[in-house]
Amino acid sequence: MSSAPSCVDRPVSADRSLLAVVGADLDVPLVTGGTHRFVHLDYAASAPALCSVVEAVQQHLPWYSSVHRGAGFTSAVSSEALESARADIRVFVGGRADDVVVFTRNTTDALNLLASVIPPDTTVLTLDIEHHANLLPWRQATVRHLPTPATADEIPAVFRAALADIQTAHTLIAITGATNVTGEVLPIADIVDVARQYGARVAVDAAQLAPHRAIDIDALGVDYVVFSGHKLYAPFGAGVLVGRPDWLDLADPYLAGGGAVGNVSIEHAEWLLSPARHEGGTPNLLGAIAIAAACRALIDVGTTAIQQHDHALTAHLDRRLAAIDGVQVVTVFDGEHDRIGIATLALPQPAAVVAAALSAEHGIGTRDGAFCAHPLMRRLFGQTPLGPVPNALRVSFGVGSTVADLDDFADALTSILSDGPQWTYALERGRLVPSPDPRPRPVSA
């Protein structure tokens, strides 16, 4: 495996990847025979690992041992590695000195943790365009899902109107940094400004934002940020919640068990403060090391370079798609708006068929479905709130992507839309799959 190139001083070009990712040279079998270089355009679901992330994990493996428990030297080293991973992640999100970094399984887990620690008299405000992970955990609380306006500039006023009306002692605005369906970036700084005027806290779901844009929670005045390692080029099963310690330290432990507690009797437990309080059981050390390595790599390459790469690829994709009849990139907001490397497409043919043919006949991995954002998808595709859930095609990309990936995709999409699929497909457990499927599987499967 090649090591990650040093990209710091190199001019950004969308013709090449910004950072080296594992699997960039992978060939996948096609149903029609032969193989094709795998074109990974599903980064928003799970991004490939950075080579530097895998190297960091491999480097630590010989030293892997129990954390905060063992007496051996490798345990001491592993415990230090976990704490130094917290420190790197805090730097990545611009955390305050007293912000806590709690390791979780993923963003969903981190938002459920936050939902479990909010004081009882809290009103939670979200927009109605959120991913299910930022809708469903709040159902235990007093929650209002506000209607998203037609332009992003109007969002702060929507929150202002809602905040003026709140009777509870605490308010938490829980908002996505960038939507996972359209990639549009939300005006977090302006929302925080309004929140501050009303003493409300702000939690940012940065599952999509963190791999693409700088987040400085201290400078922004954001109280909590959550994201997943597997979307940040660190697919080793960990995520994080970073933020203010007070609510975390007052609440019951999220995962009660060893490691979260000091003295235990049959009747009583002295719970530790966070992060340990919410991290019962053996932590995912390799997941933590992986996220920290990804954070360091993204800091090194620089958010300006990441954003430029993103913008160049997005502009290229939009140009190519504009030339294909009947294809439309859907957006929440009217007019020009900053977008990360995500595009969801309205197509003249069923998205499930197109996605299946892209994969089986062209070696291109996209995603079709409703992207765990049913309310937003209904809005984008003109359905009523309880109408059927639309199905669309999403392409998403990041630091390992190139113009050639998008050209392969646009060429394949053009050919599928004009000539139809060249294979037969059948529904299997809710997904359209090639039938028959002659593609050999790798041993790992």
Residues that bind ligand PLP (CB under 6 A): 106-108, 131, 133-134, 176, 180, 205, 207-208, 228, 372
Q: Name which of 29 and 237 has its Cβ closer to ligand PLP.
A: 237
Tell me how many degrees the CA angle 157-162-165 measures, rounded to the nearest 5: 130
Spatial neighbors of 24 by CB under 8 A, at least 6 apart, are 17, 48, 400
In the complex with ligand PLP, the residue whose CB is nearer, 194 or 207, is: 207
Strands 170-176 and 201-205 come out as parallel
Cα–Cα dist 164/251, whole Å:
27
Q: Return the number of the residue (180 or 359) whose C-beta is nearest ligand PLP.
A: 180
Closest to ligand PLP by CB, 230 or 309 = 230
Q: Which residues contact 299 (CB under 8 A, 6 or more apart)?
A: 91, 92
Burial class of 246 by CB neighbour count within 10 A (0 to 12, 13 to 18, 19+): middle
Q: Work out how close the CB of 333 gets to ligand PLP at its nearest, in angstroms, rounded to a whole number.
A: 16
Residue 377 CB, shortest distance to ligand PLP, in Å, is 13
Instruction: Give the CA count within 13 Å in the CB-facing half-sphere of 186.
Output: 28
- Indicate the residue among 106 and 344 with the shorter CB distance to ligand PLP: 106
Closest to ligand PLP by CB, 30 vs 345, is 345
Beta partners for residue 171, in sequence order:
123
Write down the least CB distance from residue 57 to ligand PLP, Å.
18
User: What distance, in Å, lies between the first and last C-alpha atoms of the chain?
Assistant: 21
Q: Using the minimum distance from each CB to ligand PLP, give the nearer residue, 65 or 180.
A: 180
Which residue lies nearer to ligand PLP by CB, 230 or 362?
230
User: In whole angstroms, how close is the CB of 45 to ligand PLP at the nearest point?
Assistant: 6
Give the nearest distance from C-beta 393 to ligand PLP in angstroms: 16
Closest to ligand PLP by CB, 14 vs 345, is 345
Q: Which residue is nearest to ligand PLP (CB)?
A: 180
Nearer to ligand PLP, 211 or 421 (CB): 211
Closest approach, Cβ 72 to ligand PLP, in A, equals 33
Q: What H or E segment, with its residue span, contains residue 270? A: strand 269-271
Extract long-range pairs of 269-276: CB within 8 Å, 24+ residues apart: 273/245, 273/249, 274/100, 274/102, 274/245, 274/248, 274/249, 275/86, 275/100, 275/101, 275/102, 275/103, 275/248, 276/68
Query: CB 7 → ligand PLP: shortest distance, Å?
Result: 25
How many residues does this entry show for the chain?
Answer: 445
Q: In angstroms, give the least distance from the CB of 28 to ligand PLP.
A: 23
Give Cβ neighbours of residue 295 (< 8 Å, ≥ 6 apart).
88, 89, 91, 92, 232
**Any idea which residue has 């646009």 for tokens?**
410
Complex with ligand PLP: residue 107 or 331, whichever CB lies closer: 107
Rounded to the nearest whole angstrom, what is the least distance from the CB of residue 228 to ligand PLP in the complex?
A: 3
Q: Is 158 helix (H, G, I), strand (E, B) or coil?
A: helix
Answer whether 242's CB lies under 8 Å from 89's CB: yes
> Residue 66 to residues 191, 408, 417: CA-CA distances in angstroms?
42, 46, 54
> For residues 60 and 77, what is the distance between their CA atoms, to the nearest angstrom?
9
Please choose, from the candidates 401, 402, 376, 404, the residue with its C-alpha nearest in 3D space to the C-alpha of residue 390: 376
Q: Return the structure tokens found at 441.
A: 């599987």
Report, in Å, the least distance between residue 176 CB and ligand PLP.
5
Shortest approach of ligand PLP to residue 324 CB, angstroms?
A: 26
